[in-house]
């Protein structure tokens, strides 16, 4: 059974970056080739998830590093097309070592033998009253004996400059809003672990923070809904265009996106 359309932090970020990209990815569902960077993130996340399935004493750096190759083989079994990400065995070896490097960095940041998550890759979903259905997956949830909650998210990239990181902060506040509404308890701490350079971003969300992120989500949904009703999602050129999978369909690069009727756009977003 197909899930109802919902807004996630990633899709919200897509719309902010470029409404046309959001449309092609979310409404038209144009196939995209796998990327080495995104697949690296999936691999590292999977190894860390598996790590916390082990007894505490066995959550060692050696165990994590040893799990990289077997986890990669399991990913290939499920999706053989991933083998095309690497030109040859030498390139694959470099890429796998990059994954191991991220895991080594993780062990300089936390001691997993002392942690006991109450949730891993936790699926959360909330219908915002008079707004969109919200959905996401939280990498790790910990609940202290006093009931306080910490949400953690792994990022395989580098720590953003203090002037940036807006997307990452929005994502964690988005999750905090869902957890507060679903559990009746506001998370005490949100942390993002950047595994490329070992940086950490920590947030202690306030009631005002969550009220603001809810208002931000509602405003964004008004914009998305208006675009759907008109079936008009305009390209927003930026330096990120160089990495876009949809350039061939983008008018900014001489392309033509598929025809779109308002009914299709609204149905795809759950507006009908």
Confidence of residue 225 (pLDDT cuts 50, 70, 90): very high
d(C-alpha 122, C-alpha 119), whole Å: 6
In this structure, the chain runs to a length of 272
Pair 213, 170: CB distance under 8 Å = yes
Residue 165 has pLDDT above 90, yes or no: no
| Pairing, β 149-155 against β 189-194 | parallel
Q: What is the mean pLDDT of the chain?
A: 95
d(C-alpha 98, C-alpha 44), whole Å: 10
Confidence of residue 1 (pLDDT cuts 50, 70, 90): low
Residue 163 has pLDDT above 90, yes or no: no
Pair 19, 236: CB distance under 8 Å = yes
**Per-residue pLDDT tens over the stretch 29-67:** 999 999 999 999 999 999 999 999 999 999 999 999 999
Pair 181, 217: CB distance under 8 Å = no
Phi, psi of 271 (to 5 degrees): -95, 0
Pair 192, 201: CB distance under 8 Å = yes
């Amino acid at each position: 059974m197909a899930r109802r359309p919902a807004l996630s932090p990633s899709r919200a970020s897509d719309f902010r970056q470029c409404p046309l990209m959001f449309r092609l990815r979310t409404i038209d569902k144009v196939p995209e080739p796998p990327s080495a960077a995104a697949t690296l993130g999936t691999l590292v996340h999977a190894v860390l998830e598996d790590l916390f399935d082990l007894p505490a004493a066995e959550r060692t750096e050696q165990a994590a590093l040893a799990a990289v190759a077997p986890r990669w083989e399991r990913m290939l079994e499920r999706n053989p097309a991933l083998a095309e990400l690497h030109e040859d065995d030498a390139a694959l070896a470099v890429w796998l070592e990059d994954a191991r490097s991220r895991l080594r960095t993780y062990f300089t940041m936390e001691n997993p033998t002392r942690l006991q998550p109450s949730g891993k890759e936790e699926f959360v979903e909330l219908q915002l009253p008079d707004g969109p259905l919200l959905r996401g997956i939280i990498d790790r949830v910990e609940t202290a004996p006093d009931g306080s909650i910490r949400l953690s998210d792994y990022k395989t990239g580098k720590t953003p400059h203090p002037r940036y990181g807006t997307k990452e902060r929005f994502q964690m506040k988005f999750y905090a809003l869902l957890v507060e509404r679903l559990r009746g308890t506001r998370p005490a701490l949100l942390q993002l672990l950047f595994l490329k350079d070992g940086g950490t971003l920590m947030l202690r969300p306030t009631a005002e923070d969550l009220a603001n992120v809810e208002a931000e989500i509602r405003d964004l949904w008004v914009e998305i809904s208006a675009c759907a009703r008109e079936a008009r999602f305009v390209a927003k050129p930026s330096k990120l265009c160089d990495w876009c999978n949809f350039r061939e369909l983008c008018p900014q690069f001489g392309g033509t996106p598929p025809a779109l009727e308002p009914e299709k756009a609204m149905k795809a977003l759950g507006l009908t």
